[in-house]
Each structure stands twice: as C-alpha cells, then as structure tokens.
Structure 1
Amino acid sequence: MNGAICKLKRVLLIFALVFILPAWCHAGQTLTLMTHDSFNVSKEVIAEFERENDVVVRFLKSGDAGAALVQAILSKNNPMADLFFGVDNTFLSRAIGADIFEPYQSPMLEMIPDQLKLDNENRLLPVSYGDVCLNYDKAWFKEKGIAPPTDLTDLTRAEYKGLIAVQNPATSSPGMAFLLATIGKFGEGDYLNYWKKLRENKVLIAQGWSDAYFGHFTAASEGDRPIVVSYATSPPATVYYAETEPEEAPTVALVTDDNAFRQIEFVGILKGSKNVTIARKFVDFMLSKTFQEDIPLQMFVYPASGEAKLPEIFIKYSKVAEKPLKVDPAAIETNREKWLEDWTNVMLR
C-alpha cells in the first residue's frame, strides 16, 4: 500500500513539474503596455510575440493620449506598466521633460526614416504616423456644383460658409493637430485671425473626432457638413468598411503642400520597469515588419518602418503629404496652454 502511495506521489510530482510548474511560471511573466484607447493590434500578431518569448502581454488602455500620458507621469515612482505607446509629437517635449522613459537604441531603428526620429537619445522611438487634414465629400460637391477646397485658406470664403466641422483642440487629438496646422501655416501672429474668419463662416466645433465625422460629416452621417477634419487615411477606411467596395473612395483627403499636420506616435520603456529585457524585445517587435505591416488596417495610420509593405487599399486610396506643416515640439510644450486658451477665447466665448 505504501509503495502504491509513493508511486502515486512520484507520478503527481512529475505531472506538476511537466505541466503545472511551466504554466505557473508562464503566467507570472507579464509585460504591460500602457496606451490610449485607440490602440489596436491583431491577436495573432501578439500571440506570435508571446509564444516566441514565453510571456503574456497585457494592454492597459487609459483614455486618450494626453490623459494616458498624465497617468504615466503621475505614477512615475511606481509605474503602472513596462512600456508606453501613444506619445505623439504634440506631447513629445512633455513626455521627455517628465523623465519617465529609459533610452533604448533598438537595432530596428535602421529601418525608420530619419525625419520621424525626434528624440536623439531614443527614449521615444517612432512606431507610426498619420497626416491630419481636411476630408471632403466628393458627391456633395459634385451635386451642388461647388468646387471642393484645395487649401486651408479656402475655408474662409463665402461659398464654404457653414460647410466645415472641426474638433475642439482641448478635447480632441486631431483637433489639436488641426490647431497646430493653422499655427504652422499662418504663424503665431495671424492664426487667430484665421480662426475668427472661420467662426464668422459658421464653422462647427465638435468635441471629438467621432462626433465630427459620424455626427456631422455628410459622407458618413445624416449631417450637413461636407468638410471635416480627419486623417489622410480616412478615404481607405471608408472603402475598407463599406458593405461592397466602391469603384472609388467617396471622400478625398487634402494633403497638398502646407495643408496637413503630421502626427508621429512613439513607444518608450518606462523607468522602473522590472522587465526591461523583454520590454526591449517588444520595442524591437513593434518596429519589426510583422507588427508594422499590421498597423494600417488596425489603426488606419502609416507604419514608421520603410521596410513595411502597405496594404493594397492604402496604395490605391491614400496619399502621404509630401510637405506637411510642422511646429517644433518644444514650442508646442511651451505654448500649448496659451494657444488653447487664446483659441477658446476666440471660438467659444
């Protein structure tokens, strides 16, 4: 009897060593990525990284990019995650000034164009980018016999009165990018005059992108605004999500010279992470061809890597701005609150 019991104990011990212990160890290896609510990635892509590195990746979505960054800064002494994705060039200086990121010169940076690299110390590494610009409803303008806009200055003309919806820059990331576009185009001394003209021309201010696009844009709703601030990648999105693929995109993104603002999104390893080695591997993975080629149809922005192939729908229906508007990240950080206050005084009071 005792021999049978001992044999059973040995069997149970072997079972635990072979099956239970590895599973327990695997469950204990967790890598946490803090990010904004719009982040998305294919399950099979993440599963590949988890399988190859024997780790579970957890995503901590924490509101919009600005709100998520504030949380990361406030918790810097006891970080909530190992990495942070979603800092863009409008918050770059704030993120770097808060000193919450570990420098890491990933070997995958060789595949990233220099114009996307904004941090010389590689605390924040570029992952994706998108051009914020005007989008217009082709059918609406054709039906009305009105020429669509070709430049931001067109929006102040009488024929475009009451035709545009924009987002509040204090509550919307594309809204902030569009405000910066006007500062980049007209300069600090004249951008408010441009906004005053837009107000006189009955511009509609929406709280966020969804409200503007799906609540007021004629190409996506029952609204009455055939022009909206959106992304250069919105036209391929309209085709991708259509029940039947149209012969051409129903909308056009205005990416002519000096009419779009480029948003670049970065990833960084948070100081205090207890998983720095695997976090570095995940940064490499985010810059790898596998992850980069998953980006377009998951988040409808462009991959940062020059090695990533774009899906056919992007090649056919989207175009990158060759000469986007720029505002220095340091100037954005220094002046953001003043610009927002001045804009609010002109547009909402």
Structure 2
Amino acid sequence: MSNLGRIGLAILTAAALATSACATSTAPSAESGAPSATGAVTLVTHSSFHLPEQVLADFTKQTGLAVKTVELGDGGELATKLSLTPGNPPGDVAFGVDNTYAARPVRAGVFDEYVSPAAANGAQEYALAGMPQLAAVDFGDVCINIDTRYFRDKNLPEPVTYQDLAKPEYRGLTIVENPETASPGMAFLAGTVATLGEGWQDYWRSLRANDVVVAPDWSTAYKTDFSGSSGKGPKPIVVSYASSPAAEVGEDGAAPPTKALLDTCFRQVEYAGVLRGTKNPDGARKLIDFLLSPAAQAAIPDAMYVYPVTRGVPLPEAWAKYAPVPPKSATLPADRLADERDGWVRQWRQAMGR
C-alpha cells in the first residue's frame, strides 16, 4: 500500500466536499506532564484539517489553552457559513479559507484585523492585498497529475500543457473535478482562466469534445478513477496536487508511478483569521502565532499534504525529491476571484453542455 493509502490523501486542502459539521477537543493526556488547561480556544475549520495531537498538545502546554475544533465542510462551505455569522462567530479563530474564497468572508466583516509577528518569517509573502485580517498558513498547487506507467506502456508521449489534454491522442484519458462542488475543480478552472485568458471557454469546449470526464469531487477523481492511485481506475490523467506524487512513494521508497505537470498549476493558499466577536481574542491570536511556529509548520506537509509558508522549514525527503514546490504557478487576485467566480462557473456549464 502506498503512503496515500495509509494516511488518506483526502485530508488535503482542497479535498472532498463534506456536508456535516462536527466538533472535537484536543488536550494533552495526563501522561504528557503538561499543565491542566485553564481555558480553551475554538478553531473553526474545514473537514480536511489535521495536525498531530502532540503538536496541538504543545500549544496547550505553552499557553494553558486546549484547542477545540469545529468542522464546517470543505473550504468553500467554510467560507460560506462564516460569511453568514459576522460578529456572532461559531468559534474564536478560523483556519482553511483559501484565496479562491477569501474575499467573501472578509467583505462580510467576519474577521478582525491581526498581523502575527511570526508572519514576517514568510507568511507575509502570501498576504492578500487589502486583507490584513488574514494570515497565510500553508499553500498547495492544483495541477494535472499523470500515471507515467500508462504512457510508457502505451508508448505515448506524456502531456505537458493544458492544451495537450485536448489533443486526439489523449481522447478519453482525462478526469477533472466539478468546479461547482470541489475546490480542486474550482482551482483548475481558475488556472485555465489565468493561463489561457480570453478564449478559455473554447478550451473547455475542446476538452468536452475530447471526452473529458467530470467527477463530483477529488476523492472520486483521484482515489477511484485515477489509474496511478491505489484505486487503479481507468483514467491516467487527473486534476490533483503538486504534492500528490509524494503520497505514492512505495513503502520500500520506490519512486512514485505518478508526476505533476508543473506547467498546469494554480496556487491555493490557506489562511487563518481572528473571528470578529470572539470571546477569546487573545487565545485566537496565540493560536495563529502557533500555527506559524516552526513546530506547527514542520508538521503541515505530512499531516495535510500542503507546503508550509514559513521560510526555512524543511520538507520531508520524499517531497524534496518527488514533490518540489512548482517554480511557477498561476494566480489571480482574490477580489477578481470573488467578483467573477460565479460567472466563470456559468460559462463553464455552458461550455460543457451541463
């Protein structure tokens, strides 16, 4: 079984859509020797959030605050639900709103402004213009992934660019996620807009003509239908993440049978912010500071399969070899994403005949 099978790459930031909310609490065990918590801070997050218990226990040891988590679905659902509660938040601090959705809750007045001192170590490089309420915590790149074995066995050249996927030799080989229901699908759509510019709709029409398959979520596309994953599905081309190949490294350290196409990447950055109306603003700020600490940042790659924003944090060995940070990724301003997203989705539906 690959690393993906063992740890469940579904804990990725742009992961499968969840529809139910749940709450948990993390505190150090009696055996840890840490002092009893004198209070708690509630972290509102998405269904893909995961940090090792020991990391959160270290926060409790340092501050006396236990961390309670409230999960509100995937990143898009999190942003939507937070936007409905400005000034009356379901917790103290939020984590997991990404750049494709950030403008919505910021415009709704969900967050108080807070710039962590720790942000100077790298997070500020990912700050959104005009949105000092949000602190970058991690980033990932949504890219086309391919099953390299398939192309070797078929003696077929590997695709490289967006445009390659519309060529006749790749007919019926590609599966993407629906941008209406899956954050990787939205990021991939935004990537085509950013990279191809005017006429991106024609590109999607050409994909449709080339028998592209649209999956409802990342889990279906990657874990079930992608031939390079443990699901060993029928499609050798899928929208996933630049970090996905690291999860396919064999238990014996064998090279993964997949790779990301780095000319097709769109950057997603996840942010944390103090929720306006919190009853524990000091605890919220302390938790944001902690999420940017070297200890928490070092745990992020293995725990959530995204990259840390703090400079100097080493990547796991398999990442350095098989999932390096793409040298260039497409981006779009958060305000433009907020203003034009719905229109892009409508045009996408038209292009895809949906």
Matched, 1:97 2:104: no
* CA-CA distance at 1:278 after TM superposition: 1.5
Partner of 2:345: 340
Matched, 1:252 2:264: no
* CA-CA distance at 1:340 after TM superposition: 0.6
Partner of 1:267: 272
**2:314 is matched by which residue type in structure 1?**
K
**1:87 is matched by which residue type in structure 2?**
V
> Structure 2 CA distance, aligned partners of 1:70 and 1:245?
43
Give the structure with higher Rg (CA).
Answer: 1
> Structure 2 CA distance, aligned partners of 1:282 and 1:219?
38
Equivalent residue for 1:29, pick from 25, 39, 49: 39
Partner of 2:218: 209
Partner of 2:187: 177
* CA-CA distance at 1:186 after TM superposition: 1.1
Partner of 2:18: none
> Structure 2 CA distance, aligned partners of 1:201 and 1:342?
18
Distance 1:121 1:181, change over 3 A: closer
Instruction: For residues 258-305 of structure 1, give each alpha carbon's deviation from its aligned partner in whole angstroms, at most 9, with x where no partner exists.
Output: x21000000000001111111111111000000000000000000011
* CA-CA distance at 1:30 after TM superposition: 1.5
**1:304 is matched by which residue type in structure 2?**
V
* CA-CA distance at 1:307 after TM superposition: 2.6
Amino-acid identity (%): 39
Question: Contact 2:137/2:270 (CA < 8 Å) preserved in 1?
Answer: yes
Structure 1 residues 86-125: aligned runs within 5 Å? 86-112=96-122, 114-125=124-135
> Structure 2 CA distance, aligned partners of 1:58 and 1:65?
18
> Structure 1 CA distance, aligned partners of 2:223 and 2:299?
25
Question: Contact 1:166/1:229 (CA < 8 Å) preserved in 2?
Answer: yes
Distance 1:348 1:211, change over 3 A: farther
> Structure 1 CA distance, aligned partners of 2:44 and 2:330?
29
> Structure 2 CA distance, aligned partners of 1:246 and 1:313?
8
Aligned pairs, number: 319
Instruction: For residues 189-246 of structure 1, give each alpha carbon's deviation from its aligned partner in whole angstroms, at most 9, with x where no partner exists.
Output: 301100000000000000000000012111122421100000000000111xx4x234
> Structure 2 CA distance, aligned partners of 1:114 and 1:59?
25
Calculate the TM-score normalised by the size of structure 2.
0.87
> Structure 2 CA distance, aligned partners of 1:317 and 1:173?
23
Partner of 2:24: none
**1:267 is matched by which residue type in structure 2?**
A
> Structure 1 CA distance, aligned partners of 2:70 and 2:155?
48
Aligned Cα root-mean-square deviation (Å): 1.5
Unpaired stretches in structure 2, ≥5 consecutive residues: 1-34
Partner of 1:21: none
> Structure 1 CA distance, aligned partners of 2:72 and 2:177?
21
Question: Contact 2:45/2:96 (CA < 8 Å) preserved in 1?
Answer: yes
Equivalent residue for 1:195, pick from 187, 192, 204: 204
Partner of 1:4: none
Question: Contact 1:255/1:319 (CA < 8 Å) preserved in 2?
Answer: no
**2:306 is matched by which residue type in structure 1?**
V
> Structure 1 CA distance, aligned partners of 2:290 and 2:78?
22
Calculate the TM-score normalised by the size of structure 1.
0.88
> Structure 1 CA distance, aligned partners of 2:174 and 2:242?
16
> Structure 2 CA distance, aligned partners of 1:279 and 1:169?
32
Structure 1 residues 1-349: aligned runs within 5 Å? 29-112=39-122, 114-187=124-197, 189-220=198-229, 221-239=231-249, 242=250, 244-256=251-263, 259-349=264-354
**Structure 1 runs of 4+ with >6 Å offset:** none
Instruction: For residues 143-173 of structure 1, give each alpha carbon's deviation from its aligned partner in whole angstroms, at most 9, with x where no partner exists.
Output: 0000111111101110000000000000000
Q: Which structure carries more helix by proportion?
A: 1
* CA-CA distance at 1:76 after TM superposition: 2.0
Partner of 1:8: none
Instruction: For residues 2-47 of structure 1, give each alpha carbon's deviation from its aligned partner in whole angstroms, at most 9, with x where no partner exists.
Output: xxxxxxxxxxxxxxxxxxxxxxx96661210001001100000000
**1:183 is matched by which residue type in structure 2?**
V
